[in-house]
Structures are given as structure tokens and as C-alpha cells.
Amino acid sequence: MVTQITSFGRSGLYDWMMQRVSALVLSFYTVFIIGYLLLNPDLTYDQWSGLFEATWMRIFSLMVLLSIGIHSWIGLWSISTDYIKATGPRFFFQSLCGLAMFVYVVWGVQVIWGL
């Protein structure tokens, strides 16, 4: 029997909702970036840098970074509980994924906020 101890949320409904909300955030960000690139065909480094120096864009990018972590954790947790039945290897895989996501989020925060 698979327990919910390593699940992101407290229930399957919560995980499902977080998966959908994070997908929306990722979709909005993708549409925004594509739109920005299409509306600025002669984009310079200064314009691009100026966009990412704006506080609202840093917050939006941080939301996307956290959404990537949430979305990928829920997806990988679902896959690991479906296909890795033995507790030891499943725990190892989930721990490795959790550590990688933590490192990526911390690294992303450093890149976004210039820490």
C-alpha cells in the first residue's frame, strides 16, 4: 500500500488542484514571454535586462519557478508511486527528486534576485 507521506498535499484533490493551478501559471508565463518576443522583434540586451529587473517580473518569474517545482514534484510523485512498488527504491527516487528540485529552486531564486 502506498502512503501519502511524500505527497505534496494532504489529499488527491489538493494535489490535482495544485497541478492545474501551476499549469496555468506556467501557461501564462509562456504566452507572456512569446508575446513579448513577438512584439519586440529588435530586442536588445538592455530591453531584455530591463524587463527582468522590474520587480513585478521577478515576482512573476519566482511564481513560475515555484510552479515548476510543485508541478514536477506532483508529477514525479505520481509516476513513482505508480511504477516503483518497492518502498526503498521509491523513497530513494523521491528523495533524489526532492533534493534536485530544492537545489533548482534555491539556484533559481539566486539567479532571479541576484543574490
Question: Binding site membership for heme: which residues?
Answer: 71
How many angstroms separate the CA atoms of 93 and 81, rounded? Answer: 10
Interhelix angle 55-83/12-39, nearest 10 degrees = 140
- Vertex 102, ends 18 and 114: CA angle to 5°? 105
Which residues are part of a known binding site? 71, 83
Which residues are part of a known binding site for a ubiquinone? 83
DSSP-assigned letter for residue 3 = -
